[in-house]
Structure 1
Amino acid sequence: MSQSKFPKLLDYERLKQEFGTSSTEHTASQDTTNDSDATIETIPPQNIRLTGSRLRSYAFAVLTRKEFSKAELIEKLAVYAASREEVINLVNELSEQNYQSDQRVADIVLSSQKRKGKGPQRIKLALKNKKINSDLIQEELKAIDWVEQAYQLKIKKFGNTVEKDPKLKAKQIRFLQYRGFDMEVIMKVINKKEDDE
């Protein structure tokens, strides 16, 4: 296509001369948003330290794309902020106003890990990695039938026969332990027959 069909809408050279380097920094930060998914969060240029309303805007941009725990959000914002103290105050404020919620993150982690066939120990580990207290979902964890969860996982992987061979039993135990199930639950599962209630 010829350039005559698409005339230049802005004369960037004239803007650079008129406004100095700030316009080039602005266009550079805009360009990063279109590069890839890794830079989709409108990452500010390295030499600019965010404060006040700019930091708040960046925090909202981050939170609109994904839920973050309080600790994760502080670390993410601190990279671009001028003051860690300001970041902590902002995140506390966002948490009070329910824009950020550790409870929501904990619920998301629980449902996601449960869907992937993970047991309570792996779920607690996932929460610990996000620096979230597992007490937030203690009631939900107690309400889940972990024996049934582990049994369905065992059937999917090994079938519904009760193994007599110690090596095959050990393999099932290791598999369910790795998935985060407690030993008490595992022993019930590997000895459970299909017609057992």
Structure 2
Amino acid sequence: MAFAAPSLKGRALRLLSQREHSRAELERKLAAHEEEPGTLAQALDELQARGFISEARVVQSVLHQRAARLGSARIRQELQAKGIDAEAVAQAVQSLQGTELERARALWQRRFAEPPTEPRERARQMRFLMTRGFSAEVVARVLREGAQAPDCAD
């Protein structure tokens, strides 16, 4: 006995049950399953009207899951890739600015704990933090403070 393929709304709900998705992400993922033009937009409109699709929840989810390990630049990039509104992205990034240095310091401490002793190691540690979206200014400050940290806490 053959089963009918799930509807666009069913597919969208299955994706949303796994994690928060922006409308743009759902459009990208479900476009191949749209048989009649306009049915995908209609299904997503209905889900959005019922509160199943929420840009604010997507932003909060990304911040909750990724902010401890990523800098503002990477968070901005991920939110933009999800199709989040530019104003919501700017607000989310702004909310992270106050903790940028502490988050970079904590990540560096977990990964390295030892200040670099040679230029090659310093470059490696800088690359590690910068590829995670921390600014050069924050990275330089973390490494400078790490190099000045005492060997033991009193």
TM-score relative to the length of structure 1: 0.63
What amino acid does structure 2 have at the position aligned with 1:82? Answer: E
Deviation at 1:165, TM superposition (A): 2.9
Alpha carbons of structure 1 residues 85 and 183: separation in structure 2 relative to 1, 3 Å: same
Partner of 2:88: 136
Partner of 2:2: 25
What amino acid does structure 2 have at the position aligned with 1:119? Answer: G
Corresponding position: 1:99 with 2:52: yes
Alpha carbons of structure 1 residues 164 and 59: separation in structure 2 relative to 1, 3 Å: closer
What amino acid does structure 2 have at the position aligned with 1:143? Answer: S
Show structure 1 runs of 5+ residues with no match.
Answer: 1-23, 30-43, 45-49
Partner of 2:101: 147
Deviation at 1:58, TM superposition (A): 4.2
Q: Is the 8 A contact 2:105 2:142 kept in 1?
A: yes
Percent sequence identity over matched residues?
Answer: 27
Instruction: Indicate which of 70, 90, 101 corresponds to 2:23.
Output: 70
Alpha carbons of structure 1 residues 66 and 156: separation in structure 2 relative to 1, 3 Å: closer
Alpha carbons of structure 1 residues 128 and 84: separation in structure 2 relative to 1, 3 Å: farther
Partner of 2:131: 178
Q: Distance in 1 between matches of 2:19 and 2:141?
A: 38
Show structure 2 runs of 5+ residues with no match.
Answer: none
- Of structures 1 and 2, the larger Rg is shown by 1
Alpha carbons of structure 1 residues 92 and 158: separation in structure 2 relative to 1, 3 Å: same
Q: Distance in 1 between matches of 2:102 and 2:47?
A: 39
Instruction: Indicate which of 143, 146, 152 corresponds to 1:190.
Output: 143
Alpha carbons of structure 1 residues 57 and 156: separation in structure 2 relative to 1, 3 Å: closer
Question: Once the two structures are superposed, what CA deviation does each residue of 1:41-94 show, in whole Å capped at 9, x if it has no partner?
Answer: xxx1xxxxx7xxx44344334433332210121233333232231211221232
RMSD, matched Cα: 2.4
Deviation at 1:134, TM superposition (A): 5.1
Deviation at 1:160, TM superposition (A): 4.8
Instruction: Indicate which of 78, 87, 93 corresponds to 1:126.
Output: 78
TM-score relative to the length of structure 2: 0.78
Q: Distance in 2 between matches of 1:167 and 1:64?
A: 45
Partner of 1:112: 65
Q: Distance in 2 between matches of 1:124 and 1:56?
A: 29
Q: Distance in 2 between matches of 1:139 and 1:91?
A: 25
